[in-house]
Amino acid sequence: MIADLETRLADVLGSRLAAPLAGRVFVTPGPANANQITALVGVSRAEVVAEKFGAGRRPEQVPGADDPRRVVRLSCGIRVEVRSGANGTRAQTATALDALLYELDSQDLRSGRALTAPGDPG
């Protein structure tokens, strides 16, 4: 699920950002020899959220699944990095990072709604 989260976040950001990051957001470590500016996203830590009143022990109904599933809730830290590429300038990198941070602050990304997809298992 963590790998799915990273991939979905990279796909969503890559589709929503304008040039130069449009289509240039990858999961860490990203392409080896990127000549263009790129953004990298990756989970840097994951911690299990403490259960409350037996939650997590009983199967739950989740989006995209017909049968109840065991749910493990996590709190994840996600690292975001912008690399300038071969000919990029500091100003271009700063502008791209600013656009990326602005997009990450959008309400649907902060709530996670932007990351749901048809058939999403949770």
Can you give the residue ranges of every domain in the chain? Answer: 2-42+77-115
Of the candidates 49, 97, 100, the one whose C-alpha atom is nearest the C-alpha of residue 75 is 49
Mean pLDDT score across all residues of the chain:
86
pLDDT of residue 105: 94
Exposed, middle or buried by CB within 10 Å (0-12, 13-18, 19+), for 38?
Answer: buried
Reported as a single tens digit per residue, the pLDDT across 18-27 is 988 999 999 9
